[in-house]
């Protein structure tokens, strides 16, 4: 899922009076108050592109499978149990008989079938449609090659869902915990005209029907989104927070002030300049953990000059990643010499193409591209979304390219929606990119750059890369599969359609009154398990 760090300020009514302490009432002792870093672009679970809506969706919707927020092992969710065939190709899920939508209607197997049917419609153009491609014939149906009735999902009866896969997929159960796999309330969506539309009102308060432990109560754009307990969910009487409020505080320092004033129970981020101080405090509010995330730059390979691999490699080799990590993490250990974080699904990249800083080789590559010393290089722009952090990184890299290569790159900052559009339509030369794994497997990273991936914003197509990825998907032997993935990453780093910079970490401040908030690689949390003192 798109990794995102956010910027400059919104005025929140919560903070308008300064440090007034907790305001009681709706923000009182039974309410968990979270910084969410950005205004969500949607609450439709099949259209989410980044973590700001996903954090909310995990309260509103319940998938077939949940993850243990300590171990990330699969747990029963909307399905109380499942069976897997010996060949690993057929999964049968038995739904909870007491599963209910927030309007009291039962959750049935057909609700999951309709979710698959909707997301596999090209008209919806879901950014996460590839999460369904392990289903038998799902991709073929999406591409118009087979009819719907040949897709491997069906309701065997009212409460039993059967899913057939193209091939054994070791991470499939974990994949099912992603909000894209939420059941869909088709009558609700159609009542608000949004079955395949992006501009529907079905996710607004009063319209949204969901099946998770919480239901949508309030959405004040630029201020807050509030969810309250779903009385029809089995966890309703179990003692979790009565409400969870998400505040889209886009300025990191404003968010820290809100936390220090007691107006937030957890922040979304921590500014780099505060890390050393917070690490030295005894209050234990700082939570830091490694992440399945990598920050990188995207090169638009579909147009000059970045259709030239020598130029892309020159840019990559001129960057001092340890210097960037000192700026961002205050720790050089997270410099990214490759794309996939070490240990992702048991994978540890050991290929020949690990990136490092090599100014001499960078200048040789620049000359091989036909631009010795930068002479004759057309103007290039580095595009990023509004963020003090993204600007800091862009300015540092801009200076490295000037110093080591003698080239001037213009910086362009856009608001989030404009940035997403620019990247989607290819209106960039170099653009900020980043990814936090949707599941704990290297495919969540390497699959982004397969030629037909909906997230292949670099527009890079490479037969050797795609061939290794196909071989990995078809390989049942775990060791051979990882070797194919390593060969694919070798190819990616040799051709350099992206420029890895640093690995992400999760950094939050969590108030002492919050119990049961467990840091983990996916930043996955179940709000119904949190307890407030």
CATH number at residue 492: 3.10.105.10
**Distance, CA of 166 to CA of 388 (rounded, Å):** 44
- Residue 171 to residue 165: CA distance in whole angstroms: 12
Does the residue 274 lie in any domain?
no
**Total number of domains in the chain:** 2
pLDDT at 1: 64
Place of tokens 């003192």: 533
Largest CA-CA distance found in the chain, in angstroms, rounded: 70
What are the CA-CA distances from residue 102 to residues 43, 258, 390 (Å)?
A: 15, 32, 39
- Same structural domain, 486 and 519: no
Q: Kindly state whether residues 466 and 516 are assigned to the same domain.
A: no
Give yes or no: residues 221 and 244 share one domain: yes
Residue 393 within any structural domain of the chain? yes
Do 313 and 435 belong together in one domain?
A: yes
CA distances from 502 to 155, 388, 423, 523 (A): 44, 17, 20, 18
Asked if 382 and 481 sit in the same domain, the reply is: yes
Query: Does an H or E element contain 288, and which?
Result: strand 286-299
Domain holding 474, by residue range, is 290-506
Tens place of pLDDT per residue across the chain (533 aa): 665 443 333 334 444 434 544 443 345 679 999 999 888 889 999 998 778 899 999 999 999 999 998 889 999 999 999 999 999 999 999 999 999 999 999 999 999 999 999 999 999 989 899 999 999 999 999 999 999 999 999 999 999 999 999 999 989 999 999 999 999 999 999 999 879 888 889 999 999 999 999 999 999 998 999 999 999 999 999 889 999 999 999 888 899 999 999 999 999 989 888 998 999 888 889 998 888 999 999 999 999 999 999 999 999 999 999 999 998 888 888 999 999 998 888 888 877 778 899 999 999 999 999 999 999 999 999 999 987 788 999 999 999 999 999 999 999 999 877 898 899 899 999 999 999 888 888 999 999 999 988 889 999 999 999 999 999 988 888 899 999 999 999 999 999 999 999 998 889 999 999 999 998 888 999 999 999 98
Contacts of 157 (CB under 8 A, 6+ apart): 109
Is 495 part of any domain? yes
Place of tokens 């390593």: 486
CB distance 12 to 225 below 8 Å: no
**Residue spans of alpha helices (H) in 280-373:** 309-317, 321-328, 359-368
What order of strands is seen across the sheet that includes strand 153-157?
Answer: 79-84, 90-95, 160-164, 153-157
Closest listed residue to residue 474, CA positions, set 175, 169, 90: 169
Position 397 in a domain: yes
Which run of H or of E encompasses 293? strand 286-299
431 and 524 both lie in a single domain: no
Q: How many helices (H) and strands (E) does the chain have?
A: 15, 17
| 145, 251: one domain | yes
Residue 148, in any domain of the structure: yes
Decide if 155 contacts 161 (C-beta within 8 A).
yes
Q: Phi and psi (nearest 5°) for 337?
A: -90, 0
Q: Is 219 helix (H, G, I), strand (E, B) or coil?
A: strand
What pLDDT does residue 205 have?
Answer: 96
Q: Is the distance from CB of 51 to CB of 499 less than 8 angstroms? A: no
374 φ/ψ sector (left φ>0, alpha ψ -120 to 50, else beta): left
DSSP 2-25: B-----S----GGGTT-S-----G
User: 358 lies in a domain?
Assistant: yes
Per-residue confidence (pLDDT) for residue 193, from 0 to 100: 84
CATH, residue 527: 3.40.190.10
**Quick one: 214 and 332 in the same domain?**
no
Q: Please check whether residues 28 and 138 belong to one and the same domain.
A: yes
Same domain (yes/no): 398, 514: no
**H or E element that contains 262:** none
- Does 137 lie in the same domain as 112? yes
Residues 227 and 306 in one domain: no
Residue 117, domain member (yes or no): yes
279 is a domain residue: no
- Say if residue 251 is preceded by a cis peptide, omega within 30 of 0: no
Q: Which residue has the tokens 């969500």?
A: 40
């Amino acid at each position: 899922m798109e990794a995102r760090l956010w910027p400059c300020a919104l005025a929140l009514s919560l903070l308008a009076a300064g440090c007034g302490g907790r305001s009681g009432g709706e923000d009182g002792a039974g309410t968990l108050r979270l910084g969410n870093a950005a205004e969500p672009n949607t609450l439709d679970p099949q259209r989410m592109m980044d973590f700001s809506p996903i954090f909310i969706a995990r309260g509103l919707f319940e998938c077939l499978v949940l993850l243990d927020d300590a171990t990330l092992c699969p747990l029963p969710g909307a399905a109380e149990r499942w069976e897997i065939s010996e060949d690993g190709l057929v999964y049968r899920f038995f739904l909870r008989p007491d599963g209910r939508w927030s309007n009291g209607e039962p959750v049935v197997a057909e609700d999951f079938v309709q979710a698959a049917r909707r997301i596999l419609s090209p008209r919806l153009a879901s950014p996460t449609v590839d999460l369904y491609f392990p289903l038998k014939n799902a991709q073929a149906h999406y591409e118009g090659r087979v009819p719907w009735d040949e897709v491997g999902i069906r309701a065997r009866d009212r409460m039993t869902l059967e899913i057939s896969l193209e091939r054994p997929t070791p991470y499939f159960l974990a994949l099912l915990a992603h909000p894209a796999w939420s059941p869909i309330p088709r009558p609700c969506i159609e009542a608000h005209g949004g079955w395949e539309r992006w501009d529907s009102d079905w996710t607004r308060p009063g319209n949204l029907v969901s099946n998770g432990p919480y239901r949508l109560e309030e959405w004040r754009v630029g201020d807050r989104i509030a969810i309250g307990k779903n009385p029809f969910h089995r966890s309703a009487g179990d003692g979790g927070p009565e409400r969870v409020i998400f505040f889209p505080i886009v300025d990191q320092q404003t968010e820290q002030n809100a936390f220090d004033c007691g107006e937030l129970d957890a922040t979304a981020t921590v500014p780099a300049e505060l890390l050393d101080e917070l690490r030295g405090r005894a209050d234990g509010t700082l939570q830091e953990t490694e992440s399945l995330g990598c920050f990188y730059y995207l090169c638009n390979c579909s147009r000059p000059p970045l259709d030239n691999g020598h130029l892309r490699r020159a840019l990559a080799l001129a960057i001092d990643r340890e210097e960037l990590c000192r700026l961002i993490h205050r720790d050089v250990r997270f410099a990214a010499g490759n794309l996939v974080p070490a240990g992702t699904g048991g994978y540890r990249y050991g290929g020949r193409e690990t990136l490092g800083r090599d100014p001499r080789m960078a200048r040789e590559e620049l000359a091989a591209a036909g631009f010795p010393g930068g002479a004759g290089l057309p103007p290039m722009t580095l595009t990023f979304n509004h963020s003090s952090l993204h600007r800091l990184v862009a300015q540092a890299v801009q200076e490295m390219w000037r110093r080591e290569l003698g080239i001037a790159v213009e910086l362009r900052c856009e608001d989030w929606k404009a940035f997403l559009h620019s990247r989607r339509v290819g209106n960039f030369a170099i653009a900020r990119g980043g990814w936090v794994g949707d599941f704990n497997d290297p495919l969540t990273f390497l699959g982004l750059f397969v030629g037909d991936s909906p997230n292949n914003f670099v527009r890079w197509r490479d037969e050797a890369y795609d061939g290794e990825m196909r071989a990995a998907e078809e390989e049942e032997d775990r060791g051979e599969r990882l070797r194919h993935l390593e060969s694919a990453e070798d190819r990616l780093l040799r051709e350099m359609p992206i420029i890895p910079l640093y690995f992400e970490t999760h950094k939050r401040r969590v108030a002492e009154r919050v119990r049961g908030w467990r840091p983990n690689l996916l930043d996955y949390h179940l709000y119904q398990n949190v307890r407030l003192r």
